[in-house]
A = this chain, B = another copy of it.
């Protein structure tokens, strides 16, 4: 195939044909074509190679062409092309990048550019790859402490951090971590193999960033090594980035808990339309669910007409039930987020929260009995009091277990917001109220 034809394939984004062409040609031939192409086309071609061949081809390239590929991957034009592709083609183009390129390409970028570029290297949204710092000083394991310290002195100035040093074998595979502290405090002739912590945790660049960040928090780590699927060191997740990840996750959870769709911006910079949009969907779903309360009341409309006084306590009852449910839901959602509760605790949580709810309901029921007697009459007061006991017990149980059930079904438990629990408890609470009214009052 002539270079002209190849260029046409690139321009029409005919990826299957390009991949076939790449399979049929030797690394030096591919390197030759890439060298001839302009940077944009060269990079596109290069990114279609699978991991092992990409390395072989890269070795065949002239240094200036190597530079062209590396900087091309960081280029806006390349990003624009990739963003305009359809998702399937994009996924095919952006397989996992070889560790060596990933580190080169991501180095020296601003955090924002790094996140953008990490996407192009195939690390999914919210993954560790989007947050990691590639500028690390890796130490080969056969060195001594003194030699390692010399390496740190030579190469440390460009690194994001030198406090955690990934130790690697001859194939750049992760062996463990070495802390600068141990290195500085050790005698210079001690071998690194005696200082390396081979039990150190590591994560893959494609792992979820929030999980990695919470792991760092629990294990009190300053830095967490990041590797690719072949255990080659890509960089470090540093604690300051981990803290940002946790804060963003908490802000998201909190927004979800109030039935708003999280967005990533600054509160003061959000426009009216943006704020409204983040809240509209849930309000619509909730008002649709609230129609149930209208149906329940229509079902009991005859009862309401007979004893209008029953209507007086409706907002108080549904409000209190909602509050009890919201408290329970918020407590379990947070406990799940920080890892204090697991889905297998479901029955334990349900049993405990139902008792908490009944206890609170009994207390509020006593208040309701007094209040109802003063404001209306004793029979209505008894109805209100008994309803409060059962509604609170029911609300706490539902509020606490729904987040756990959601998590078990693979849904983000923070979606079980206080407003959602409140709305669901409202309709059932009204049923409880009217059933008790029928039992207590002469209807």
Listed in ascending order, the chain A residues whose CB lies under 8 Å from chain B are 149, 152-153, 156-157, 161-163, 180-181, 184-185, 217, 220, 222, 239-240, 243-244, 246-247, 250-251, 254-255, 257-260, 266-268, 272-273, 275-276, 279-280, 282-284, 286-288, 290-291, 293-294, 297-298, 301, 304-305, 308-309, 311-316, 318-320, 322-324, 326-327, 329-332, 334-335, 338, 340-341, 345, 348, 352-353, 355-356, 359-360, 363-364, 367-368, 371, 375, 418-419, 422-423, 426-427, 430
Contacts and interface: CB of A to CB of B under 8 A. Distances in A.
B320 A319 contact: no
- The 3 A-B pairs at the shortest CB distance, nearest first, are namely A258-B330, A267-B335, A293-B315
A247 to B, nearest CB: 7
Contact of A298 (B157, B254, B312): B312
A254 B184 contact: no
A415 to B, nearest CB: 14
Contacts of A254: 254, 257, 330, 334
B268 A315 contact: no
Nearest to A375: B294
A267 to B, nearest CB: 4
A17 B143 CA distance: 67
A258 B418 contact: yes
B287 A360 contact: no
16 contacts: A246-B247, A267-B334, A267-B340, A268-B335, A272-B355, A275-B331, A279-B324, A283-B320, A284-B364, A286-B320, A291-B375, A294-B312, A308-B311, A311-B311, A315-B430, A319-B422
A312 B258 CA distance: 25
A217 B245 CA distance: 11
Contact of A315 (B255, B315, B331): B315
B268 A340 contact: yes
A239 B222 contact: yes
A135 to B, nearest CB: 13
